[in-house]
Each structure stands twice: as C-alpha cells, then as structure tokens.
Amino acid sequence: MSSGGDRTLVVLARWPGNPILSPRPGCFWEAWGTFNPAAFSYGGKVYLLYRQISRSGISTFGLAVLGGGFEVLERECEPVYVPRESFEVYPSYERYIRADDEVELIVSKLSKIPEPHDLRKGCSLFGVEDPRVTVIDGKLYVTYTAYNGVDFPRGVISWIDLKDFLERRWDRWSRPLVVTPPKVADKSVVMLPGRIRGKLVFFPQDFPAYMGRLRREYRGVLKGALPLGKTCNQD
C-alpha cells in the first residue's frame, strides 16, 4: 500500500487457491453455477450469500460460511432465499408458487420443474440474481435482481433480522419489494451502509434514488414499485 497526497493506492492480489466456491454436481440447486457473492463479516466469520443456478435453470441464493481466511466452514445445499413473487417467477409456474408459502414448500415445488431443453447450461430461466448485502441496525438487507424470464429485470429489496439469519430461519425473510420503475432494466441496485435523515438510500444502476427530497416512506411491506427519486423508511 502506498499513498500520495490525499490518495491511497491499494494493490490487491488474486488468491492462488481460487475459486473459493465451485458448482457441486451432486447439489441440484448449484449444479450449473456459483458466482456473484455478497459478503459480510460477523463474529469472526465471513458469510457469503451467493447466486446459484440449478439444473433446471432457476437462480436462487446459497450460503457459505468462511473462517480462518478462505476455509469453508459451512455450506448449504438447499437455497436460503428463493423466488416467490410474479416479477421473479416464470409465468408458467406462477400459478402454483405462492409468495406466502413456506420456503421449504417453495423449494420442493421448484425442485420438480423439469430441465429446459433449449436453455444453454449456465444461463438462468428465472429467479433471484446477484445479491448485495447491507447490515443496518440489526437487520440484514439484500438488494438483488429479480427476473421472471419475460419482463425487464427489476431491482428488489428484502430483509431479515440478523439474529434470524444467523439461526437459519429462512421463513423470516420479508416479502420482496420492487424499488425500480416498471419497464426499466436494472441489475445493480445497492444501498448505502447507513441511513440519511433516518431513511434507507438506494442507488439504482444509473443514478441515485436519493434526489434530495425525502417524501416517500413505507412501513412493513408495500405492493408495487417505489418510484425512482424516493427513499424509504422500514421499521
């Protein structure tokens, strides 16, 4: 590391033991891919929430726990977060996947979807993609890309109490909330790691959703989109 003036230059080195995570053919949910993880540290461990693609082309989130550098201490086979809403479930399957179903039931239903013959291996038919994690005030917020295989990818947020996350209580995830406008493709919504004037602040793909006017709040879960240029409260 070197510095000059007000600038600091950090030189990163690629770990020679990469990749940390690779697809496991014996695990249905990640047979086609493991990539684009979000990471946060807690209690001396690093938690990776990563995108995985099943043999049927469904994107879900898996969990791996690292300790002592890059040593994998724990790794789930079944997903810890699954698509539930119409904006992240392929229309043909939406009729029997209900957003208020328990996670185990949704996992069971998704596992019965046949492998598509016309989907290139490694591609996703539908699901939840590319998580980004922010921990604020004891809650773990995940922004991600929701894609139902038909419409524009949407920027979405869900959250869970950090305690519930650490205890693997996956049914405690909130209902996902769309935070980008309709008919606008967005694959990279992120949050600031703190509040501004008590509000959560989102950065969509092209420009911040915080435009200097704090007018829109929500409590609990809202259905529909949060208009661009707004911020929100969540209790």
At 56 the three-state DSSP class reads coil
In whole angstroms, give the CA distance from residue 64 to residue 56.
22
The gap from C-alpha 148 to its chain's centroid, in whole angstroms, comes to 15
Question: What phi, psi does 160 have (nearest 5°)?
Answer: -155, 145
At 11 the three-state DSSP class reads coil
Please tell me whether the overall predicted TM-score, pTM, comes out greater than 0.85 for this model: no
CATH classification number, 23-203, choose in 3.40.50.10800, 3.30.420.40, 2.40.160.20, 2.115.10.20: 2.115.10.20
The identity of residue 106, as a single letter, is I
From first to last of its 235 residues, what are the pLDDT tens digits of the chain?
Answer: 445 556 788 888 888 989 999 999 889 999 999 999 999 999 999 999 999 999 888 999 999 999 977 899 999 889 999 999 999 999 888 777 877 888 888 888 888 887 775 666 667 889 999 999 999 999 999 999 999 999 889 999 999 999 999 999 999 999 999 988 877 788 888 888 988 888 888 887 654 443 333 334 433 333 333 333 333 344 4
**78 secondary structure, DSSP code:** S
**Nearest alpha-carbon partner for 40 in 172, 183, 161, 141:** 141
